[in-house]
Amino acid sequence: MKTFLLLTISLFLLTGLAFSQGSSTTNGGNDSAKTEKPKRVSFRPTKDQITEAQTKLKAAGTYAGEADGKYNNDLRAAIRKFQETNGLTKTGSLNRATLEKMEITLTEQQRTIPAPESSYAKEKEDKPEKAKSDKPKRTIFRATKDQIKEAQRMLKAGGMYNGEETGQLSKETRDGLKKYQETNGLSVTGTLNQATLEKMGIALTDKQKADAAAAQ
pLDDT in tens, the chain (216 residues): 556 666 666 666 666 655 555 555 555 555 555 556 667 778 999 999 999 999 999 999 999 999 999 999 999 999 999 999 999 999 999 999 999 999 999 999 999 988 888 888 875 544 555 555 555 666 778 899 999 999 999 999 999 999 999 999 899 999 999 999 999 999 999 899 989 999 999 999 988 888 878 776
Q: What is the DSSP letter of 160?
A: S
Architecture of domain 47-120: Orthogonal Bundle (1.10)
* CA pair distance 93, 105, nearest whole angstrom: 16
213: alpha, beta or left? (left if phi > 0; alpha if psi -120 to 50): alpha
Reported for 57-66, long-range contacts at CB under 8 A and 24+ positions apart, including other chains, are: 57/82, 58/189, 58/190, 58/191, 59/140, 59/141, 59/189, 59/191, 59/193, 60/138, 60/140, 60/141
**Amino acid 169: pLDDT:** 87
* CA pair distance 69, 67, nearest whole angstrom: 6
Q: Domain map of the chain by residue range? A: 47-120, 145-215
CB 63 within 8 A of CB 78: yes
Find the angle CA(110)-CA(108)-CA(137) to the nearest 5 degrees: 55
**Amino acid 2: pLDDT:** 59
| pTM of the complete model | 0.43
